[in-house]
Chains A and B, each alone.
Chain A
Amino acid sequence: MIRYLAKRALTYVFMIFLTTTAGYFLAVNTLQPALLEQERIPRPTPEQVANSFRLKGLDPDLSPWERYVEWLTAIVTRWDWGRSPNGAFINAEFGDRVWISTRLFLASIVLTLIIGVALGVYTAARQYRASDRVITSYSYLVYIVPAPIAYFLVQLGAININETVGERIFFVTGISTPGLDGGGWAQFVDMLAHYAVPTFAITIVGWGTYQIAQRQYLLDNVNADFVRTARAKGLTRNQAISRHALRVSFIPVAQSIAFTIPAIFAGGFFAEKIFAWHGVGSWSIDAIALQDVNAATATLAYGSVIFAIGAILADFATTLVDPRVRVQ
């Protein structure tokens, strides 16, 4: 199994290299930071602009290929992802922002998965009862709402709650109150007040897909022969479902996780923009607006790495629950 996973990991490393390279060339050819510099006051001469970019390793006079080689050598030899046009170092900024993004999404992703799968099992066991109909139609409703609009509506709702209560319970933007004094307890309450709205919004929009998938795959297996055999041997319906049907039906769901983690990352752009958490997602949008080649490529590489991690986790989960893969 370890060998199988290692082989997969190697393939993904190669893929990350390819997508990042493609992304770099796309960015180098379309993004032109020199044009933005011209809008500064006092307006710098083209020589000044070129000189300042040359010092930051962003020489616009070199061909894309030369810049690519220079950029790649810096990463391979010194793990240096370059600098932004304003002089900031990508590595330093990246560290901060990854931490913010991780804090924003980790809780939501875990909650989304657990709630989605649990509700899927619950509704499959109670097919066509009122609870099943309500939950499943909710999931289909979420499916037709674009993520940013759902986040926005949740934000509006939180603002309304704050207004009706007359005091600020939830913070709808930002990550923490700047300059907050007080002990650990005050800090903790402040953190909860900032986390509650984004986590709630991402979770209630996210679990619909898992619920639908888990319900359908479980329903396909509930009446399979091996479940009937288990029932004939004396297991209760719930035991038969949880020990036999659930295991098989979780395999496709586990695989779909690989492809929804980048989707959550993509949804992350919207969540970070709307809730004003300055993580990797909003950085990548800003980087493109500021014509920042290195930052855009770094965020793209990060997206690919997240995808690869999700895919490897899915492979790992599949080998855990599916004995057929282990045999192969």
Chain B
Amino acid sequence: MTNLSTIDPAAVAGEAKIENSDVVITKSSIILRRFLRNKTAVVGLVIFLALTLFSFVGGLFTSWDKETIDPFNIGMPPSAEHLLGTSQAGIDLYALTVEGTRISILIGLVVGLVSVLIAAVYGCTMAYFGGKVDKVMLFILEALIMMPALLVVAVATSGGGNGLQKSLPSWLLLIIVLLVFSWMGTARLIRSLSMSLMTRDFVKAAQYMGIPPRRIVWRHLVPNIGSLLVLDITRGITGAILAEVAFSFIGIGIKVPDVSLGVLIGQATSQVSTFPWMFWVPLTVMFLLTGSLAMMNDGLRDAFDPSSSSVGRARRSDPGKRKSGKTPTTAGKKTT
């Protein structure tokens, strides 16, 4: 253990020196440039950011809010006074959509980010320690996959008189339940990928050099599965938004008075032919949201993939060649 402390600062300093020199492009700027090269992904990012911005400041452009009832305009189509019309209860649909988008994005971001974090820690721990630890943790994981999440969502959000539903808003409850049931697939994938990485020479070499587990995981495992992690964040966000819409659509999940895109779509389904705007407006927003995330997927995967052909050129420290040549993207590669 004594030589560890002497090795570490030197290694860190060495790496910092390499990273700061002009010849080699830093990792973050490689990632950024590769992402920007993918036009579809950039468009997706712009749409997603615009929607997020809309959900926060959109409420300022209307004098109505999500609770005020306009008794003279109940179930009215879009007009000058109500940009997107009103709901069956006479509430301005624009205000409702802004509020619903915010809740949906919130659910998506929290569930997507945190579940991937849980999955990464869980999967890497399983792969790193192996043996008994791996067996027990895999058993827990498979048992959780087995539980139909929808039943638990239904019990948790609609159960009778216990105090939990009363003290927490329904969107927070839904986030918690979605979190518990959303990380297992990713964790399994991360486990199998990390297990194959564990047998690679660079990990073995690091182990024999006496580098502590935490550093091996951070330095050698995480960068290699980084593209998968990033991809699973966007997938997790999409999945959570879709799950919220699906659950609220059939009447479990988010409960009125909380608003979300799913609640709005679900409420409108019974009268699509009479009040079409109530159905299509929140549905369009949902498609923009999930569509923009899907557009970012491929660009993000390519940007974070260390075995992407772009990195091969950058590491040869030949910036001129990198800039001039269009690097072939690995199109047929599997997304894992």
Chain A proximity mask over B163-194: 1 for CB below 8 Å, otherwise 0: 00000000000000000000001000000000
Q: B290 near A149 (CB under 8 angstroms)?
A: no
Known interface pairs A19-B147, A30-B160; A284-B154 also in contact (CB < 8 Å): yes
Given contacts A148-B250, A152-B249, A274-B250, 17 further A-B contacts (CB under 8 A): A15-B143, A16-B146, A19-B143, A23-B147, A30-B160, A31-B155, A31-B160, A35-B161, A146-B242, A146-B245, A220-B332, A270-B246, A284-B151, A291-B160, A296-B155, A300-B148, A308-B146
B4 at the interface (CB under 8 A from A): no
- Chain A residues with a Cβ closer than 8 Å to the other chain, count: 51
Known interface pairs A19-B143, A259-B185; A303-B148 also in contact (CB < 8 Å): yes
* Docked complex Cα distance between A156 and B279 (Å): 12
B291 at the interface (CB under 8 A from A): yes
Q: A15 near B150 (CB under 8 angstroms)?
A: no
Chain B proximity mask over A16-52: 1 for CB below 8 Å, otherwise 0: 1011001100110111100110000000000000000
Q: B159 near A31 (CB under 8 angstroms)?
A: yes
Q: B160 near A35 (CB under 8 angstroms)?
A: yes
- Min CB distance B23 to A, Å, is 34
Chain A proximity mask over B200-219: 1 for CB below 8 Å, otherwise 0: 00000000000000000000
Known interface pairs A32-B160, A144-B290, A149-B245; A307-B154 also in contact (CB < 8 Å): no
Give 6 closest A-B pairs by Cβ, nearest first.
A30-B159, A32-B160, A144-B290, A303-B148, A216-B334, A219-B332
- Chain B residues with a Cβ closer than 8 Å to the other chain, count: 44
B287 at the interface (CB under 8 A from A): yes
CB-defined contacts of B146 to chain A, threshold 8 Å: 15-16, 19, 262, 303-304, 307-308
Q: B154 near A262 (CB under 8 angstroms)?
A: no
Q: Which of B230-258 contact A (CB under 8 A)?
A: 238, 242-243, 245-246, 249-250, 252
Known interface pairs A15-B142, A144-B238; A149-B154 also in contact (CB < 8 Å): no
Q: A146 near B249 (CB under 8 angstroms)?
A: yes
CB-defined contacts of A18 to chain B, threshold 8 Å: 143
* Docked complex Cα distance between A52 and B145 (Å): 37
B139 at the interface (CB under 8 A from A): yes
> Which of B162, B243, B331 is close to A29, meaning CB atoms less than 8 Å apart?
B162
* Docked complex Cα distance between A114 and B142 (Å): 27
CB-defined contacts of A26 to chain B, threshold 8 Å: 152, 155
CB within 8 Å: A-B pair count: 125
* Docked complex Cα distance between A220 and B330 (Å): 11
- 16 intermolecular pairs with C-beta atoms under 8 Å apart: A30-B155, A143-B294, A144-B287, A144-B294, A146-B242, A146-B245, A146-B249, A146-B286, A148-B246, A148-B250, A216-B333, A262-B146, A266-B150, A285-B250, A288-B151, A307-B146
Q: B151 near A148 (CB under 8 angstroms)?
A: no
* Docked complex Cα distance between A147 and B243 (Å): 9
Q: A152 near B269 (CB under 8 angstroms)?
A: yes
A275 at the interface (CB under 8 A from B): no
CB-defined contacts of A29 to chain B, threshold 8 Å: 162
Chain A proximity mask over B257-277: 1 for CB below 8 Å, otherwise 0: 000001001000100100000
Q: A149 near B332 (CB under 8 angstroms)?
A: no
Q: Which residue of B lies closest to A16 (CB)?
A: B146
Q: B154 near A285 (CB under 8 angstroms)?
A: yes
* Docked complex Cα distance between A52 and B139 (Å): 40
Q: A147 near B334 (CB under 8 angstroms)?
A: no
* Interfacial residues, chain A to chain B (CB-CB below 8 A): 11, 15-16, 18-19, 22-23, 26-27, 29-32, 35-36, 127-128, 140, 143-149, 152, 156, 216-217, 219-220, 259, 262, 265-266, 269-270, 273-274, 284-285, 288-289, 291, 296, 299-300, 303-304, 307-308
- Min CB distance B307 to A, Å, is 13
Q: B250 near A269 (CB under 8 angstroms)?
A: yes
Q: A22 near B148 (CB under 8 angstroms)?
A: no
B308 at the interface (CB under 8 A from A): no
Q: Which among A149, A270, A304 has the highest number of chain B CB atoms within 10 Å?
A: A149
* Interfacial residues, chain B to chain A (CB-CB below 8 A): 139, 142-143, 145-152, 154-156, 158-162, 185, 238, 242-243, 245-246, 249-250, 252, 262, 265, 269, 272, 283, 286-287, 290-291, 293-294, 331-335
CB-defined contacts of A22 to chain B, threshold 8 Å: 147
- Min CB distance B21 to A, Å, is 37
Q: Which residue of A lies closest to B246 (CB)?
A: A146
Q: A23 near B151 (CB under 8 angstroms)?
A: yes
* Docked complex Cα distance between A81 and B253 (Å): 28
CB-defined contacts of A265 to chain B, threshold 8 Å: 148
CB-defined contacts of A308 to chain B, threshold 8 Å: 146
> Which of B151, B246, B294 is close to A140, meaning CB atoms less than 8 Å apart?
B294
Q: Which residue of B lies closest to A274 (CB)?
A: B250
Q: Which residue of B lies closest to A286 (CB)?
A: B154
Q: Which residue of A lies closest to B148 (CB)?
A: A303
Q: A30 near B151 (CB under 8 angstroms)?
A: no
Q: B155 near A144 (CB under 8 angstroms)?
A: no
CB-defined contacts of B246 to chain A, threshold 8 Å: 146-149, 270
CB-defined contacts of B272 to chain A, threshold 8 Å: 156
CB-defined contacts of A146 to chain B, threshold 8 Å: 242-243, 245-246, 249, 262, 286
> Which of A36, A273, A288 is close to B158, meaning CB atoms less than 8 Å apart?
A288
- Min CB distance A7 to B, Å, is 13
- Min CB distance B155 to A, Å, is 5
CB-defined contacts of A288 to chain B, threshold 8 Å: 151, 154-155, 158-159, 252
